[in-house]
Structures are given as C-alpha cells and as structure tokens.
C-alpha cells in the first residue's frame, strides 16, 4: 500500500522520483505492523462512509437538483475513477508479485491524469475517455487472472463481467 500512496504523491508532486529521505532519522519499519495500520485505515474509512450515508439519509434538507453538467458530479466521478485505478494497481501488484509472466505485468497502469487534484472537474468527454482507459486495463488484468485460474485448476472460474 505504501507503494500506491507513493505513486499518488509522486503524481501530485509531478516528480519522477521520491522526495529525499534522511535515513539517519528514520526508524526501522515492521511491514506487518504497517500492513495492519493501513488495513485499519481502510476499515475506518469504510465505517465513515457508512456513517455518512446514515447522516445523509436522515438529513431533512433536500438536495438541489443537479444539472447535466454539474461540476461536483464530475469531480466525484473523477475521484471514483481514480480510486478504481488505485484498486487495479493494488491487484496488479499482488498478481505480478506472484505471476510476473502475466502479459499485463510488463508495465503498471499510470495514466497521466491520475495526479490531478480531486478539486479538478474534468469534462464529461475526458471522463468518458479516461473510464475507457481504466476499463481496458481492468479487463486485461481480470482476463489474465481468469485464464491463469483456469490453467491451474482446469475449470473456468466464475470470472468478473467481461
């Protein structure tokens, strides 16, 4: 997960390399403890999302009618699309760490738009193009993993929608 966070930070910073770290002041890292901490953050965020849903459901105010070209809706969709890229890349890291021979393991998916701030409101056309790019990458990874599972077991698994 640290790798994913780094990728996002590098994209935001616009740099090609990580910022320098003074290793003399850095304490040793326990990967297991770090994994637990990151997992805990995910659980807290999931819980926060559920709580937010409960708050929104009980809110007496009526949401304003959204226009077809609502910037907030485009920003929200961009944020969701960015999260799908990060989910894809986490799965890619896991898959390619175990089976680097997969055709998708030649290069991680790092679209140039992933580093844009979430305050950016892309056009609907940009979102359409970007979602096609993500869909292509997700489909390729899912297809490779399904084919690998079928080779290993001889049975075609219940694969994601293709």
Are 12 and 74 in the same domain? no
What is the number of structural domains in the chain? Answer: 2
Q: Does position 70 have pLDDT exceeding 80, yes or no?
A: yes
Is the domain of 57 the same as that of 78? no
Work out the pLDDT band at 34, boundaries 50, 70, 90.
low
The stretch 112-138 carries a mean pLDDT of 91
Averaged pLDDT score across all residues of the chain: 74
Residues 86 and 140 grouped into a single domain: yes
The verdict on 93 and 35 lying in the same domain is no
Statement: residue 143 has pLDDT above 80:
yes
Q: With beta carbons less than 8 A apart as the criterion, state whether 83 and 91 touch.
A: no
User: What is the residue whose two structure tokens read 């079928």?
Assistant: 150
d(CA 16, CA 50): 36
114 and 150 belong to one structural domain: yes
Is there a single domain that holds both residue 78 and residue 156?
Answer: yes
Alpha carbon distance 126, 121 (integer Å): 10
Distance CA 17, CA 153 (A): 41
Residue 20 pLDDT level (bands cut at 50, 70, 90): low
- Domain with 48 in it: 1-20+27-61
Question: How much is the pTM?
Answer: 0.61
| For residue 134, pLDDT beyond 80 | yes
**Looking at the structure, do residues 45 and 122 belong to the same domain, yes or no?**
no
For 33, the token pair is: 């403890």
> Do 43 and 82 have their domain in common?
no
| Residues 52 and 122 both lie in one domain | no
Looking at residue 113, its pLDDT comes to 95
The closest alpha carbon to 134, from 75, 68, 88, belongs to 88
Residues 13 and 84 in one domain: no
Q: pLDDT tens-digit profile of 73-110?
A: 889 889 989 989 999 999 899 888 887 678 888 889 99
């Amino acid at each position: 997960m640290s790798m994913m966070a780094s990728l996002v930070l590098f994209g935001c910073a616009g740099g090609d390399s990580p910022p320098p770290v003074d290793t003399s002041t850095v304490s040793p890292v326990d990967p297991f403890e770090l994994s637990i901490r990151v997992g805990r953050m995910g659980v807290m965020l999931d819980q926060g999302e559920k709580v937010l849903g409960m708050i929104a459901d009980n809110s007496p105010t009526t949401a304003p009618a959204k226009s077809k070209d609502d910037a907030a809706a485009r920003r929200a969709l961009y944020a969701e699309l960015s999260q799908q890229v990060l989910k894809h890349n986490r799965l890619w890291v896991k898959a390619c760490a175990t089976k680097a021979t997969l055709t998708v393991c030649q290069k991680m998916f790092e679209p140039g738009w992933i580093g844009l701030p979430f305050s950016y409101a892309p056009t609907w056309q940009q979102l359409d193009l970007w979602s096609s790019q993500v869909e292509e990458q997700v489909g390729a990874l899912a297809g490779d993993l399904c084919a690998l599972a079928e080779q290993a077991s001889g049975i075609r698994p219940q694969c994601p929608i293709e």
